[in-house]
Amino acid sequence: MKDLNKAGHLDQYHYLGTQACDHVIELLGIQADASVLDIGSGIGGPARYLSANTGCKVVGVELQGELTDAGAELTARVEGLAERVAFVTGDFSSDACVLPQSQFDHFVSLLVFLHIPDRAKLLSRCFEHLKPGGYLLWHTPFMFPFHGVPADYFRYTHAGAAAVCEDAGLEVIEAAPDGGYAAVLGHVVGMDTRFFSDEEIHRVRELPHWKDLDNLHHKVSYHLSTKLVARKPPSDA
Domain that holds residue 55: 2-179+224-231
Residue 201 CB partners (closer than 8 Å, separation 6+) = 179, 182, 183, 193
pTM reported for the whole predicted model? 0.81
Residue 45 lies in a domain: yes
Residue 207 lies in a domain: no
Q: Strand pairing partners for 216?
A: none
Distance CA 69, CA 203 (A): 40
Q: Write the pLDDT tens digit of every residue in 49-92.
A: 999 999 999 999 999 999 999 999 999 998 889 999 999 999 99
Q: Write the pLDDT tens digit of every residue in 85-125.
A: 999 999 999 999 999 899 999 999 998 999 999 999 999 99
* CATH number where 122 lies: 3.40.50.150
- Number of domain units in the chain: 1
Whether 162 and 231 have beta carbons less than 8 Å apart is answered as: no
